[in-house]
Amino acid sequence: MTLESDVGDAETENTEKGDALIVFTPSGKRGRFPVGTPVLSAARSLGVDVDSVCGGRGICGRCQVTVSEGSFAKHGIESRRDHLSPQGRNEQRYDEKRGLKPDRRLSCSALLQNDVVIDVPSDSQVHKQVVRKRAEARDIEIDPSIRLCYVEVEEPDMHNPSSDLERVYRALSEQWQIDVSRADPHVVIGLQKVLRQGDWQMTVVVHQARDGEPSEIISIWPGFKDVAYGLAVDVGSTTIAAHLCDLHTGEVMASAGLMNPQIRFGEDLMSRVSYVMMNPGGEQEMTQVIRESLSTLAGEVAGEAGIDVDDILSAVLVGNPVMHHLFLGIDPTELGGAPFALATGLAIDIPARDLDIKINRGARVYILPCIAGHVGADAAGVALSESPHLNDELTLIVDVGTNAELILGNKNELLAASSPTGPAFEGAQISSGQRAAPGAIERVRIDPETLEPRFRVIGSELWSDDPGFEDAVADIGVTGICGSGIIEALAELFLAGVITHDGVVDGSLAARSPRMIADGRTFSYVLHDGSPLVTVTQNDVRAIQLAKAALYAGAKLLMDRMRITTVDRITLAGAFGSHIDVKYAMVLGLIPDCDIEKVQSAGNAAGTGARIALLNRAARREIEEVVRKIEKVETAVEPAFQEHFVDAMAFPHKRDPYVKLSKVVTLPERKSGDDSPDTPDDGSRRRRRRRNAAG
């Protein structure tokens, strides 16, 4: 084989050599091969990325290509000539069984006859790209840690007493050029039966955590198999969300969420840590229930997608440090007080069975590294999804949960911190607050003249002043106000002058509106005069002030440390970030000033990070390196944090020039559900489930 730099020249040598020229698009790789060479062999020899599970036996159909004769015609080659061998028995059989489009050929079966240009469509490439919806989000190259390999294994022979396993290793080496020297115990135990059931043909699942590490057989099936799935899981304090992904296409096949069953041990993280402190060994109960939930979720998504849980061969988990520790069975007590020492913050690669997760016995679970005692693997997932380390722009990433995790930086430097916002943004500590669930007020507008409100609740698309609203919410009711709702309510009340810059609910307005009611020495605003009564109290304003001051002070602290006064981009991650309107967030001063066009919601970025690490094993090493490089800033020991915090209590006097008040009150309606917390931001074939996370 010789590589040719010019097709025209090469053409003249064709008949002399008995070789034919083959050019692959889109790679442009080309070479001469003897007539009769399978196209797939030529592709492999040239390093052209063509997929195959069956190893060139015409079974899997992954290696399909098309002939682009046209591109050759330009160089004077007669386009009617047969460039490839006619369909053979394998291809016909595949066509009958599974269907082959008229212009497609199986590259393993089509033999080179004459000079030809072959196009490798993207679905036939191993390392396909999954393109994400958001323009600024990185694409995902599919290269999971597992690989399916169909092998034909030599039968045992009295004259050659090698073991079955050794012959499987040899088959992998000879037929796939993969050197394997390890196999899971259950694979060894089941091997002889599977080999004989499949008549010495089997599909092997090879796991390689990273380049250079030993490859290992983690599962086997008799005969041919070409489907493999993975789970990306975000273990939140409130919700566990799981996405089932096809490891071949990268598609999200099904998503589901469950309430974290640990809630019965304590509503928030600290109360769960306290539970363990009060009940030594209590972490084991919490470990058990969370693992059971994940198994339940795995069963749910598998059922929804119509696959067997046994076909789930890989999983990636993210979660905050307490969830991370509890999932692993580690007592989280040390995370409950200074110095907040993690038992381990390193990435973990562990068999699913060691975590009692009911998926394939050999499946491997990867858990992203934690950044610090308050900034967990969920934040690492966000960092992987948003990839500030790949960009020039200085990006501030804000992930608001019970506390806020902050990442600031670009490819030169990264800082991270956790701000003690408390759970106010999740609707806790708010008089009429509730979790984001049907019936919760999530959108609020207040007329600055009349001080009359209108609102929308989760579960209905109608505003409260739309005709038919009462009927629409008859079943769900108006039950309270969720995190995004309280932000809008406060911002609208501030813009209408009901709340002052200092956060005082102005009781003097009671003269103008019956919605202002006295509440001891302070005043409240009645948002919904029903049962229950939904009000915004002076205490609610204080709670949000404390939370937003903590968030802002954390961001400022990181900016100080980086010696910058503005950021180029702000990304709001997580459920809260998906549901608040960024403009209201700026009105209240939750986040630093920034070009509002550059403030975006990233949806469940932690879950997306898990999905990236599931589909691309190189991303695992990447995020491990990023986490090692991130400088952690501990807000609790920084005097500057307290100063920023005090300064940030008030609502902004000077508005950022980009935030036009007129814009704020004529906001385009956000379509809810686009970035629902349990759906990654770019999944296709998605099937959304419940919506029960904070927001």
- The torsion region of residue 429 among left (phi > 0), alpha (psi -120 to 50) and beta comes to left
Shortest gap between Cβ of 173 and a copy of itself (angstroms)? Answer: 14
DSSP per residue, 189-239: HHHHHHHHHTTTEEEEEEE-SSTTSPEEEEEEEES-----EEEEEEE-SSE
**Does residue 163 belong to the site contacting a copy of itself (CB under 8 A)?**
yes
Q: Which of 302, 272, 308 is nearest to 290 (CA)?
A: 272
Complex with a copy of itself: residue 96 or 211, whichever CB lies closer:
211
Complex with a copy of itself: residue 165 or 558, whichever CB lies closer:
165
DSSP per residue, 55-73: SSSSSS-TTEEEE-HHHHH
**Does residue 625 belong to the site contacting a copy of itself (CB under 8 A)?**
no
Cα–Cα distance measured from residue 572 to residue 600, given in angstroms and rounded to the nearest whole number = 6
Complex with a copy of itself: residue 372 or 573, whichever CB lies closer:
372
In the list 16, 78, 96, 157, the residue contacting a copy of itself (rule: CB under 8 A) is 157
Token reading at 551: 């968030």
Q: Which range in 255-263, 344-352, 547-555, 644-652 contacts a copy of itself by CB under 8 A?
A: 344-352
Shortest gap between Cβ of 632 and a copy of itself (angstroms)? Answer: 5
Q: Is the peptide bond before 144 cis (omega within 30 degrees of 0)?
A: no
- Element of type H or E holding 485: helix 483-495
Among positions 631-650, residues that touch a copy of itself (CB under 8 A) are: 632, 634, 636-637
Residues in CB range of 220: below 8 A, 6 or more apart: 187, 190, 191, 194, 202, 203, 204, 205
Among positions 467-526, residues that touch a copy of itself (CB under 8 A) are: none
Helices (H), 57-199: 69-73, 89-98, 164-176, 185-197
Shortest gap between Cβ of 361 and a copy of itself (angstroms)? Answer: 12
Shortest gap between Cβ of 225 and a copy of itself (angstroms)? Answer: 21
Complex with a copy of itself: residue 373 or 420, whichever CB lies closer:
373
**Does residue 659 belong to the site contacting a copy of itself (CB under 8 A)?**
no
Q: Which range in 154-162, 305-313, 393-401, 595-603 contacts a copy of itself by CB under 8 A?
A: 154-162
Shortest gap between Cβ of 409 and a copy of itself (angstroms)? Answer: 17
Complex with a copy of itself: residue 15 or 181, whichever CB lies closer:
181
**Does residue 164 belong to the site contacting a copy of itself (CB under 8 A)?**
yes
Number of residues that bind a copy of itself (CB under 8 A): 42
**Does residue 319 belong to the site contacting a copy of itself (CB under 8 A)?**
no
**Does residue 191 belong to the site contacting a copy of itself (CB under 8 A)?**
yes
Q: Which range in 139-147, 159-167, 385-393, 548-556 contacts a copy of itself by CB under 8 A?
A: 159-167
End-to-end CA distance of the chain: 61
Three-state DSSP class for residue 635: helix
Shortest gap between Cβ of 637 and a copy of itself (angstroms)? Answer: 5
**Does residue 151 belong to the site contacting a copy of itself (CB under 8 A)?**
no
In the list 34, 36, 88, 185, the residue contacting a copy of itself (rule: CB under 8 A) is 185
Token reading at 544: 């949000």
What pairing do the DSSP bridges indicate for beta strands 631-632 and 599-603?
Answer: unpaired
Rounded (10°) CA dihedral 423, 429, 432, 435: 20
Complex with a copy of itself: residue 249 or 284, whichever CB lies closer:
284
**Does residue 343 belong to the site contacting a copy of itself (CB under 8 A)?**
yes
**Does residue 340 belong to the site contacting a copy of itself (CB under 8 A)?**
yes
**Does residue 373 belong to the site contacting a copy of itself (CB under 8 A)?**
yes
Residues in CB range of 126: below 8 A, 6 or more apart: 49, 50, 51, 142, 143
**Does residue 183 belong to the site contacting a copy of itself (CB under 8 A)?**
yes
**Does residue 161 belong to the site contacting a copy of itself (CB under 8 A)?**
yes
Token reading at 155: 């039968």
In the list 230, 345, 376, 453, the residue contacting a copy of itself (rule: CB under 8 A) is 345
In the list 338, 518, 533, 646, the residue contacting a copy of itself (rule: CB under 8 A) is 338
Complex with a copy of itself: residue 455 or 645, whichever CB lies closer:
645
**Does residue 3 belong to the site contacting a copy of itself (CB under 8 A)?**
no
Three-state DSSP class for residue 5: coil
Sole residue written with tokens 């008030």 = 650
Q: What are phi and psi of 661, to 5 degrees?
A: -60, -35
In the list 222, 299, 303, 329, the residue contacting a copy of itself (rule: CB under 8 A) is 329
Complex with a copy of itself: residue 79 or 192, whichever CB lies closer:
192
Shortest gap between Cβ of 187 and a copy of itself (angstroms)? Answer: 10
Shortest gap between Cβ of 157 and a copy of itself (angstroms)? Answer: 6
Complex with a copy of itself: residue 334 or 519, whichever CB lies closer:
334
In the list 159, 563, 654, 671, the residue contacting a copy of itself (rule: CB under 8 A) is 159
**Does residue 667 belong to the site contacting a copy of itself (CB under 8 A)?**
no
Cα–Cα distance measured from residue 399 to residue 602, given in angstroms and rounded to the nearest whole number = 10
Cα–Cα distance measured from residue 12 to residue 610, given in angstroms and rounded to the nearest whole number = 53
Cα–Cα distance measured from residue 325 to residue 520, given in angstroms and rounded to the nearest whole number = 45
Three-state DSSP class for residue 483: helix
**Does residue 549 belong to the site contacting a copy of itself (CB under 8 A)?**
no
Cα–Cα distance measured from residue 250 to residue 549, given in angstroms and rounded to the nearest whole number = 40
Token reading at 8: 């025209």
In the list 2, 122, 129, 192, the residue contacting a copy of itself (rule: CB under 8 A) is 192
Complex with a copy of itself: residue 46 or 368, whichever CB lies closer:
368
Cα–Cα distance measured from residue 426 to residue 402, given in angstroms and rounded to the nearest whole number = 7
- CB distance 351 to 364 below 8 Å: yes
Shortest gap between Cβ of 371 and a copy of itself (angstroms)? Answer: 8
Binding mask 563-592 for a copy of itself (x = CB under 8 A): ------------------------------
Complex with a copy of itself: residue 93 or 182, whichever CB lies closer:
182
What's the alpha-carbon Rg for the chain, to the nearest Å?
30
Shortest gap between Cβ of 331 and a copy of itself (angstroms)? Answer: 7
Residues in CB range of 52: below 8 A, 6 or more apart: 40, 60, 62, 63, 108
Q: Which of 25, 24, 28 is nearest to 41 (CA)?
A: 24
Complex with a copy of itself: residue 131 or 636, whichever CB lies closer:
636
Q: Which residues bind a copy of itself (CB under 8 A)?
A: 156-159, 161-166, 181, 183, 185, 188-189, 191-193, 328-331, 333-334, 338-346, 350, 354, 370, 372-373, 632, 634, 636-637
